[in-house]
A and B are shown apart, each in its own frame.
Chain A
Amino acid sequence: MDLENEEKKPREISEIVAIVEALIFVADEPITVKNLAEVLGEDREFVQSAVEHLRDEYDERDGGLQIRALAGGWQISTKTQYHEEVRAFLKTRPNAKLSLAALETLSVIAYKQPVTVPEILEIRGVQSASAIKTLLDKRLIVAKGRKETVGRPMMYGTSKDFLLQFGLKDLSELPSIEDFEDLLGQ
């Protein structure tokens, strides 16, 4: 609307507002007007007014999101008045990703069970105590009695939850090295 000079093919302010919204949305960090102006190849003042236009629109909309100035840039976030619901939702999400250490330890236990901590150390080459604790906490593994050797170390194996979480009917459904030999070979 502001642009009437037909030099290149000037974008309408409404289009700039839309693109600014898309960019603020995809950015990991608050995005500065300077940065927006560079990407858009537009005037800083023009972009600044587009951002403000967008913020006003969000304020008037009465939705669940807001656009706010933060750390020198602009960011979309949920409105503070819905923090309880947002928090409640975030809590329901599945547990955090398994670390590589935990995944490695789990794979050794899955394929070598029942297996003791020293045996896992021997295979992985590193201590696995905290990984084992994590796996026990997540109920992916269970203690399977003691091994009758020196020190009678505890043996571990996978649990029923393990089968559930990985969609296996039973342990025989675990892929074997042979299943993937051709695939992993090359």
Chain B
Amino acid sequence: MDGIHDLGGMGGFGPIEVERDEPVFHEPWERLAFALNILGITAIGAYNADEYRHAVERMDPAHYLAASYYERVLTGAATLLVEKRIVTHHELESGAGGLFPLAQPVAENPTADLKPQTQARFKVGDRVVVRNVFPAGHTRAPRYVRGKRGVVLHIAPAFSFPDGSAHGLSARSEHTYHVEFPARELWADSAGNDESVVVDLWDSYLEAR
């Protein structure tokens, strides 16, 4: 999904505010929200980390940007606990004494048709291009590298394919690659010529060039 979460390269944002000696959690409810999400993934086992990421991505973009990080965590966890029928939206709003906004529903056909790659197809130094696909559901190839050409720096172990595991599809693992893209390949002349971005991409996302 080309959602608001896919922020790499978006303009219009201002300075980055750094807080000195920042605590791990600023308020008790942030601590609680963090732990509730871990509970949902592990002790309750209602959803996995890919489903969680996608639930956050499905938040209304205005809510996503207005929310602090732990409000996004809370919204993602609550959305999945409602979708998995552990709690109801009505119960949540009764308990909260007001609106409890959840994320948008999952798309009808969330996954693109990407052929599973059980063997690592690429090696260090290979020149690759990111496939030009537009899955309506979860994917981890950021929009800013779609169709862009890079070079493999490193091969990581096989990991669960997120486009599938976020949508309850059968287990599928693939190697990921650290692929380096010159900044000028990504952003044309507006980028420095001594800068690059390395993106960690599953085998299925890539094609040889």
Do A and B form a real pair?
A: no
**Interface residues of A, Cβ cutoff 8 Å to B:** none
